[in-house]
């Protein structure tokens, strides 16, 4: 319950899916969390549910992760509401179903603006705030799409590959400057979320199709448990690495 007592986190894309699970598990571990999303109604509902469970543990802010100025405001809001910023979970994501030949430049730019530029802007805004508080943990949500070839998710894979690379540069930068800020990436396989369901539907697949695969279908909790660990001081010596949560998918 108190693994994260005293820690303050921002979780982007927290209105549903992995972001919601991350926020739920972080607050249950004792953290206070500023949830952000473009879906204001759903985000406020999630924050209200968390506060009903543990009063004062959550707040919501509407947030477009592509907006640099809004990032500055969101980080300031976390500090104003909760007094600090110790953890950032860059989770917000979108999926475009298109191959290298069918992906439009507009689609490619859109996917990368959310998941590559959004992560960059989040890290840039969070680092000074974490330095002021004595350090912290940045957790960037990448994907096994950065390890495997997924032609139908071309733009998504490109963005997640950028997240994988940025994570390592940020970790080394913070270490070299003695900021006491760790940065790691999480690479999930197929997880039961609305985004994965929508992508499968676009491809004419069903979520139940994963039951026949050796690796199966993961649950949001499988990822959220890793996020809590990376947010905690238990992971103090884990930095600049990539944690794969895919039940051996990438090695088969």
Nearest to 141 by CA among 184, 95, 191, 91: 91
Q: Where are the domains of the chain?
A: 8-247
Q: What is the pLDDT of residue 200?
A: 67
- Residue 207 phi, psi (nearest 5): -60, -30
As a whole number of angstroms, the distance between CA 29 and CA 151 comes to 38
- The whole-angstrom separation of Cα 244 and Cα 54 is 31
Could you give the residue ranges of the DSSP H alpha helices within the chain? 17-28, 40-53, 68-82, 105-112, 118-132, 154-176, 194-202, 220-231
CATH 3.10.450.50 fits 8-247, yes or no: no
Catalytic residue among 150, 156, 179, 210: 156
d(CA 20, CA 220): 9
pLDDT of residue 1: 63
- The one-character DSSP state at 87 is E
Residue 151: phi and psi, rounded to 5, are -55, -35
Per-position DSSP letters for 226-248, written without gaps between them: HHHHHHSGGGTT--S-EEEESTT
Of the candidates 229, 109, 61, 233, the residue with the CA atom closest to the CA atom of residue 243: 229
Distances (CA, A) of 13 to 35, 40, 182, 235: 8, 11, 21, 24
Long-range contacts of 100-106 (CB under 8 A, 24+ apart): 100/151, 100/154, 103/154, 103/155
Kindly give the confidence (pLDDT) of every residue in the chain, 252 residues in length, as a single tens digit, with 9 standing for 90 and above.
689 999 999 999 999 999 999 999 999 999 999 999 999 999 999 999 999 999 999 999 999 999 999 999 999 999 999 999 999 999 999 999 999 999 999 999 999 999 999 999 999 999 999 999 999 999 999 999 999 999 999 999 999 999 999 999 999 999 999 999 999 999 999 888 878 777 767 777 777 767 778 888 999 999 999 999 999 999 999 999 999 999 999 998
Distance of alpha carbon 197 from alpha carbon 205, whole angstroms: 9
Q: Under 8 Å CB-to-CB from 246, ≥6 apart: which residues?
A: 144, 187, 188, 189, 190, 215, 218
Return the bridge partners of 243, or none.
Answer: 186
179 carries an active-site annotation: no
The per-residue b/e assignment along 21-35, b for 16 or more CB within 10 angstroms, e otherwise, is bbbbbbbbbbbbbbb
Q: How many CB atoms lie within 10 A of CB 78?
A: 26
CA torsion sign for 184, 175, 77, 229 is positive
């Amino acid at each position: 319950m108190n693994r994260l007592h005293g820690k303050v986190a921002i979780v982007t894309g927290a209105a549903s899916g992995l972001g919601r699970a991350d926020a739920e598990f972080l607050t249950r571990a004792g953290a206070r969390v500023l949830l952000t999303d473009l879906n204001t109604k759903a985000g406020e509902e999630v924050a209200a549910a968390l506060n009903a469970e543990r009063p004062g543990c959550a707040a919501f802010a509407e947030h477009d992760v592509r907006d640099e100025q809004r990032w500055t405001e969101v980080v300031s809001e976390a500090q104003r509401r909760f007094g600090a910023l110790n953890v950032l979970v860059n989770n917000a994501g979108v999926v475009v179903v298109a191959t290298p030949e069918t992906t439009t430049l507009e689609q490619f730019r859109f996917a990368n603006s959310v998941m590559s530029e959004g992560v960059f802007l989040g890290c840039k805004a969070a680092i000074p705030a974490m330095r002021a508080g004595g350090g912290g943990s940045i957790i960037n949500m990448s994907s096994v799409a950065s390890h495997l070839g997924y032609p139908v998710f071309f733009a998504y894979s490109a963005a997640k590959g950028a997240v994988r690379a940025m994570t390592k540069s940020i970790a080394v930068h913070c270490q070299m400057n003695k900021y006491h800020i760790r940065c790691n990436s999480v690479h999930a396989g197929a997880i039961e979320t609305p985004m994965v369901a929508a992508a499968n539907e676009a491809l004419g697949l069903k979520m139940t199709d994963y039951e026949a695969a050796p690796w199966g279908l993961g649950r949001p909790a499988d990822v959220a448990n890793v996020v809590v660990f990376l947010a905690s001081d238990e992971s103090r010596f884990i930095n600049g690495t990539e944690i794969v949560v895919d039940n051996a998918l990438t090695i088969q």
